[in-house]
Amino acid sequence: MEYRKLGNTDLNLSVITYGAFAIGGNMWGGNEQKDSINSVRASIDHGVTTLDTAPFYGFGLSEEMIGQAIKGYDRSKIQLLTKFGLVWDGSNKGHGEHFFDAEEAGKAIPVYKYTSKANVIKEVEESLTRLQTDYIDLLQVHWPDNSTPIAETMEALEILIQQGKIRAAGVSNYSVDQVKEARQTLDIVSNQVGYSMLNRTIEHDLVPYALENNLGIIVYSPMERGLLTGKYFKEGQLKNNDHRNGYFQQFDLKKVEAFLATLTPLAHDKGVSLAQLVLRWTSLQPAISIVLAGSRNAEQAIINAKSMDISIFPDEMSFINLALAKI
């Protein structure tokens, strides 16, 4: 495993970071809690010291399972990353910005973006309880909330840093302009954004800004929620309540399948899976600090962790990028 310093902090994070969205179950067709907890522990046992979660994932369930999974490990050697600002239980009392309606047990649940100072403080206490810890290593705004001034949200994060409840603050899904505005109040250290072989828009603005301003970039969906593993094209069938049924339709699936077929011989030559090759490619892109990879069981977790053992040589990188240009 490789480890990288995040921004100007003393946080030394594992480049492959455990992404805990899927183990929450909601939007992913459910989950098996025992398998999920074992996947977290297998990740830690194979050098993945950094775990990224959020209250919204499973409506608290993901954080609770992370808290259970890290029992018995040295907390000082594990970095817990979580978020705030997506409210689903009505505690915003009519405030905030409606985001979308999630589905739970066949029932529509309105989800709001809400990042007021009072809500930040409230959510952190709830996360600390679920995670069974007394501090969070990196706390991130989950999504920009247009109903709350960015400065107000940053002021709340600064208070939490002073109180020792969080070690550092970051954002997620922020534009470069929003990052700049946030940094007028607080020196946020990272921006967590979607990035993959199929989604490289951040290369135009966020990557250059990050390189020039010592901002860490945390990448989610590097495998496009499993599409770039190639399994979808072999198995194809997803549960009806799996959000990926709609998510995958944004891509030209025939071109994606052809691209993966082009990469398959290279993966075979290296004795690795497509998923591992994709994760390693992502980790080697400019300005990328860490890469989130989710897993449903211990086997998948170990495969993700071992992706950092792969070497991609310059001629192989050129081959991959040339194939990407054809998508």
The CATH number of residue 8's host domain is 3.20.20.100
- At residue 235 the predicted structure's pLDDT band, cuts being 50, 70 and 90, is low
Is 304 within the bounds of a domain?
A: yes
Between residues 176 and 224, the one the model is more confident about = 176
Does residue 24 have a pLDDT over 70? no
For the residues 101-129, what does the mean pLDDT come to?
92
Domain hosting residue 137, numbered range = 3-89+115-230+275-310
Average confidence score pLDDT of the chain: 92
Is 179 within the bounds of a domain?
A: yes
Is 284 within the bounds of a domain?
A: yes
pLDDT at 28: 44
pLDDT at 240: 64
pLDDT at 29: 47
Is 47 within the bounds of a domain?
A: yes
3-state SS, residue 153: helix
Is 11 within the bounds of a domain?
A: yes
Torsion of CA 253, 258, 259, 261, to 10 degrees: 130
Active site residues: 57
pLDDT at 237: 66
What does pTM read for this prediction? Answer: 0.92
Is 327 within the bounds of a domain?
A: no
3-state SS, residue 147: coil
Is 154 within the bounds of a domain?
A: yes
Give me the number of domains the chain comprises: 1
Is 250 within the bounds of a domain?
A: no
pLDDT, tens digit, 9 for 90 and up, residues 52-106: 999 999 899 999 999 999 999 999 999 999 999 999 988 888 899 999 898 776 7
- At residue 165 the predicted structure's pLDDT band, cuts being 50, 70 and 90, is very high
Tokens of 213: 């301003």
